[in-house]
Structure 1
Amino acid sequence: MSLAARMRGIRSAAERRFPVLSELTGRLVGGNLLDAATRLAAQAFLAAVPLLFALAAFAPLGVRDQLQDSLRAMFGLTGQGDTELRQVLEGSTAESLRETTGILGALVALVSATSFSRAMARVCERAWGLPKAGTRIAAWRWTVWLLALCLVVLFQAPLRDGFGAGAWLGMPLYFLVGVGVWLWTQHLLLAKRVAWLPLLPGSLLAAGATTALALTARLYMPGAVNRALEEYGSLGLVLTMLSWLIGVCAALTFAVTIGAVLAQEPPLDRYLGTRRRDG
């Protein structure tokens, strides 16, 4: 028997014994997940920029200071990167932004930013093989999720610091909060079409991935941001942040998809109530 035939036999035996492997491989290879992750990252970037300027223009000073601390904690910003962030959020810049943007502009920025919510909803729907929810049902969910995400970002600094206790408590808390955030995210954006319990595997994977990326970002991003600003200016900053967002969105896309497959295949389907009925 040839090596290729032997390998096919081993794969067939593994798929019969562990059917989840077949489904998982098919979804990961044929699901265009990297394309979906790239689109999600692009929408995240297009949503983040106008929202950042809207917060800089209209948020109270305390909120701007909290946002600056949280963004610094997320990316470990130092040097020129930290200087650029302060310039966006400082008082004089906020006044000029308020004059040029206006309340109507801020509302337009919020509405346009829901494209990120829609992209995230589509990732969840594809993971679970569900059709798009009707606009009348989903529209308010997009806005609520986006506002909740802004709050999560706003409180990153105290959360990662364990509310004063340090990173030894902050990172486990960050993981637990992440599980809750991604559990609620899927339930909300899927318009309650999937029960809470089957969403748990994807939420655990997404929280684990974002926790690992949060630790990595503090090591990699400060130097990368400062080098990009020094060599290419603002364009370098855009490329660096977009590259990081693609990594984060790819991790989330894969986590939600893998979680959905695991929840619907043996042996977890027996415990999560997702076992398919034959006939």
Structure 2
Amino acid sequence: MKSRIAALTTTAKGVPDRVPIVGRAVGQLVRVNLLDSATRLAAQAFLSALPALFVVAVFAPAAVRENVVSSLRDQLGIEGEAQQQVQQLMSAGHDDVAQSFGLIGALVTLLSATALSRAMQRVCERCWELPKSGTRVAAWRWLAWLAVWLVVLVCQVPVRDGFGAGAWLGLPLFMLLATALWWWTQHLLLGNRVRWYPLLPGALLAGAAMTGLGIAAQVYLPGAVSRSITKFGPYGVVFTSLSWLIVLFTAVTLAIALGRVVAEEPLVARHLEAWGKRD
């Protein structure tokens, strides 16, 4: 038995040497610190970006507010009493909202939400082993990325529904939207230090992951939220939503990290280089 275990261990250790892409993938995930990075992103999204979404949505037209509620329900499982509270906040008058938040409070909330942008930038820089960008160079990029990310979050429900046509059109459209978002995200937050085409594999992986998790969320989250509320009361929504955000950002971080490994494979790199020269 001991000799068999030793043989299996030796075989496992030799896999990265025989399959170079496996060794590079393992090294990449260790360098990025996958779970730690994903947890930081999820915490920043929950604590800063979602409040910023509320601040923006309450001043927006009714259609936008409805899309926000639908997105929170589909992506985070916020329903029942929590959904009613969100709808009450969204339906409040602009004067009441302004008194509640205040101009300074709204600005502080929006600026603090760039913590998510900064965390995402650090993940991209780790994946591509690049030094941090200067604050003057990166500051406007944080705001730009946050604004686009919030817009995509609001619009994802009608896109996934194919604008009324159904999932047969909605899922391919959402896949294209998610791929475009994460392709542009890497290029923007890396400060144009990596060309477009090497970033494409990571964007495709992230788009596929977001599409699959979007389907899984509609199946899994309603029951998970109900069970969590039964066990923990109103706090169950918080626990389940934060846990699901960790899953989402783990998938994104994994996709971007492995995207670099795929892009540097000789065969893939040659094709990407050829496409780049055509343009």
TM tier, smaller = 0.7 to 0.9
Answer whether contact 2:58 2:65 (CA < 8 A) is retained.
no
Alignment of 1:75-154 (within 5 A): 75=76, 78-92=79-93, 95-154=95-154
Answer whether contact 1:61 1:91 (CA < 8 A) is retained.
no
Bigger mean CA deviation after superposition, 116-125 or 154-163:
154-163
Compute the RMSD of aligned alpha carbons.
2.5
Say yes or no: does 1:263 pair with 2:277. no
Counterpart amino acid of 1:91? A
Hey, what does 2:62 align to over in structure 1?
61
Answer whether contact 1:162 1:171 (CA < 8 A) is retained.
yes
Hey, what does 2:33 align to over in structure 1?
32
Deviation at 1:14?
4.8
SS for the counterpart of 1:191 is coil
The alpha-carbon distance between structure 1 residues 100 and 12, as it changes in their structure 2 partners (threshold 3 A), is closer
Provide Cα deviations, 1:75-119, integer angstroms capped at 9, x if missing partner: 565543432331231225x64332021122111111100000000
Counterpart amino acid of 2:64? V
Inter-partner Cα distance in structure 2 for 1:176 and 1:138: 26
Hey, what does 1:205 align to over in structure 2?
205
Answer whether contact 1:228 1:237 (CA < 8 A) is retained.
yes
Answer whether contact 1:56 1:97 (CA < 8 A) is retained.
no
The alpha-carbon distance between structure 1 residues 85 and 225, as it changes in their structure 2 partners (threshold 3 A), is farther
TM-score by length of 2: 0.88
Inter-partner Cα distance in structure 2 for 1:190 and 1:215: 30
Deviation at 1:3?
4.6
Question: What 5-or-longer segments of structure 2 have no aligned partner?
Answer: 275-279
Answer whether contact 2:117 2:143 (CA < 8 A) is retained.
yes
Hey, what does 2:179 align to over in structure 1?
179
Deviation at 1:267?
3.0
- The number of residue pairs the alignment matches comes to 273
Deviation at 1:137?
0.8
Deviation at 1:210?
0.8
Answer whether contact 2:125 2:190 (CA < 8 A) is retained.
yes
The alpha-carbon distance between structure 1 residues 171 and 111, as it changes in their structure 2 partners (threshold 3 A), is same
Deviation at 1:59?
2.3
Percent identity of equivalent pairs: 49
SS for the counterpart of 2:266 is coil
Inter-partner Cα distance in structure 2 for 1:34 and 1:75: 19
Hey, what does 1:156 align to over in structure 2?
156
Inter-partner Cα distance in structure 2 for 1:30 and 1:100: 43
Counterpart amino acid of 2:151? L
Provide Cα deviations, 1:34-72, integer angstroms capped at 9, x if missing partner: 111111111111123321331244223332223223334
